[in-house]
Amino acid sequence: MQQGFDVVIIGAGPAGSSAAILLARAGWSVALVEKQRFPRRKVCGECVAASNLPLLDALGIGRAFADAAGAPLRRMALMHAGEQVVADLPAAMDAAHPWGRALGREVLDSLLLDQARRSGAVIFQPWLVQAIEGGPGDWQLQLRKAETSESCSLEARVAIAAHGSWEALPSERDEARAMRRPSDLLAFKANFRHARLDQGLLPVLALEGGYGGMVVGDDGITTLACCIRRDRLDAARRERPGLAAGEVVERWLRRQCLGVDAALSSAQREGAWLASGPLRPGVRLAASDRLLRIGNAAGEAHPIVGEGMSMALQSAWLLCARLLAAGSATEAASADRHARIAAGYAADWRHHFRQRLFIAASFAQAASRPASARLLMTIAQRLPALLTVGARWSSKDRSAIDAASIRRMTPTAAWHDRPTTTPS
């Protein structure tokens, strides 16, 4: 089986599915390849910042998101050891969507993927992209169906990598097999029912050797996600031989932070702890990219600021704006034009996301070291409003995509999908 498309998108996380919807709606023939079956759980704090909600409206899933997601997140807390400081989150600029909300990735990613299918994208799932050859105008991709030996090849004028950060593409595996380092951050997540946590509160956890967050999302389920240094995890595991890594992390979190212990005191875990990593925050895209990158495949901020999905969604919009401005896939894939698209998009990406990477890295460093975490706590206790300012610096209140761009890129968007009221 061999098939040709204007564009092949690798990975159906928030970045890949958003790009598939935008390009398919504009009349491009789109193949979206996802190796996992949905719905699937994923290591993520699951908070969608308010700045993304206008994008979800324009993609046509705003109402479904509003119906399913947890309460509006109006306040954040910094928790460290036995202390906590609560502060307001900054309201986003779009008056219809001032507050972010949390939604399980099994729901959010399925909503986006279903919308990509309805928009006309051809979905290859569960298919794994195994190899990519060629270049703009003439890409060839080898696919293998998960759990089988069935294979097929696709051809495309444009190829977009949206495969996240954990699973390297075959061509990048050597780089990904970098040496294990004690300072590697490993990510964990679990969901709990009956946790004692205020809806609408977003606690950030400063931990010795890591950081984390908690939130109540859809159906009253609490998500607890964290990152822990490899050496801290190894030490904690040596204290509890025979215990699974997730169980060790849960005990570590409860011992490190009384706020977590209190929240989980009567909670029941739903499903297993999930783990992934190591985390490699930083910029991966380059102005000379032939394979265009969006979402975590393009770059990644420490998740302490919960802006990864914002960068995934918004980078997809930034790239698609440049591709659609070319007029057609054939034009976008022509050598000169493709080079200009890649360079322009890389400049847009850095302009909008560089500050988020810097703030997230600084906050992560400060939160995960005992002395600086104590200092952070002391400062926050005296001036809680600084937490609000920090959230603003990490772009919680604004999007890389303004209202005019949304209307330009989705002229026939289902604006009626926009929820009519937002709880105030």
Ligand X SMILES: Cc1cc2nc3c(=O)[nH]c(=O)nc-3n(C[C@H](O)[C@H](O)[C@H](O)COP(=O)(O)OP(=O)(O)OC[C@H]3O[C@@H](n4cnc5c(N)ncnc54)[C@H](O)[C@@H]3O)c2cc1C
Q: Which of residues 241-260 bind ligand X (CB under 6 A)?
A: none
Q: DSSP secondary structure string, 6-57? A: EEEEE--SHHHHHHHHHHHHTT--EEEE-SS-SS---SS--EEPGGGHHHHH
Task: For the CB of residue 407, give the shortest distance to ligand X in the complex, in Å.
Answer: 24
The span of 39-47, 53-61, 89-97, 372-380 binding ligand X (CB under 6 A) equals: 39-47
- Contact between 47 and ligand X per CB under 6 A: yes
Handedness of CA 296, 302, 308, 311 (dihedral sign): negative
- Residue 131 tokens read as 């190899």
- Contact between 307 and ligand X per CB under 6 A: yes
Strand, helix or coil for residue 184 = coil
**Closer to ligand X by Cβ: residue 11 or 90:** 11
Dist CA 166 CA 151 (whole Å): 23
> Dihedral through CA 97, CA 59, CA 218, CA 99, nearest 10?
-10
First to last CA, the chain: 53
- Contact between 289 and ligand X per CB under 6 A: no
Q: Which of 14, 60, 210, 217 binds ligand X (CB under 6 A)?
A: 14
Helices (H), 90-180: 105-118, 173-176
- Residue 286 tokens read as 């380059």
Handedness of CA 42, 47, 48, 51 (dihedral sign): negative
Q: Which of residues 364-423 bind ligand X (CB under 6 A)?
A: none
- Contact between 310 and ligand X per CB under 6 A: yes
- Contact between 227 and ligand X per CB under 6 A: yes
The span of 78-86, 228-236, 259-267, 294-302 binding ligand X (CB under 6 A) equals: 294-302
- Contact between 308 and ligand X per CB under 6 A: yes
The span of 33-41, 55-63, 150-158, 416-424 binding ligand X (CB under 6 A) equals: 33-41
- Residue 49 tokens read as 């910042």
- Contact between 162 and ligand X per CB under 6 A: yes
- Contact between 164 and ligand X per CB under 6 A: yes
**135 class by beta-carbon count within 10 Å (0-12 exposed, 13-18 middle, 19+ buried):** middle
- Contact between 184 and ligand X per CB under 6 A: no
- Contact between 299 and ligand X per CB under 6 A: no
302: phi then psi, degrees, rounded to nearest 5: -55, 130
The span of 24-32, 244-252, 293-301, 338-346 binding ligand X (CB under 6 A) equals: 293-301
User: What x/- string results for residues 312 through 341 when contact with ligand X is judged by CB under 6 A?
Assistant: x-----------------------------
Dist CA 82 CA 102 (whole Å): 25
Are 214 and 260 in contact by the 8 Å Cβ rule? The answer is yes
Dist CA 152 CA 179 (whole Å): 34
Task: For the CB of residue 134, give the shortest distance to ligand X in the complex, in Å.
Answer: 16
Task: For the CB of residue 107, give the shortest distance to ligand X in the complex, in Å.
Answer: 13
- Contact between 43 and ligand X per CB under 6 A: yes
Task: For the CB of residue 326, give the shortest distance to ligand X in the complex, in Å.
Answer: 23
> Which residue, 39, 18, 55, is CA-closest to 162?
18
Footprint of ligand X (CB under 6 A)? 10-16, 33-36, 43-47, 128-129, 162-164, 167, 169, 187, 189, 225, 227, 295-297, 303, 306-310, 312
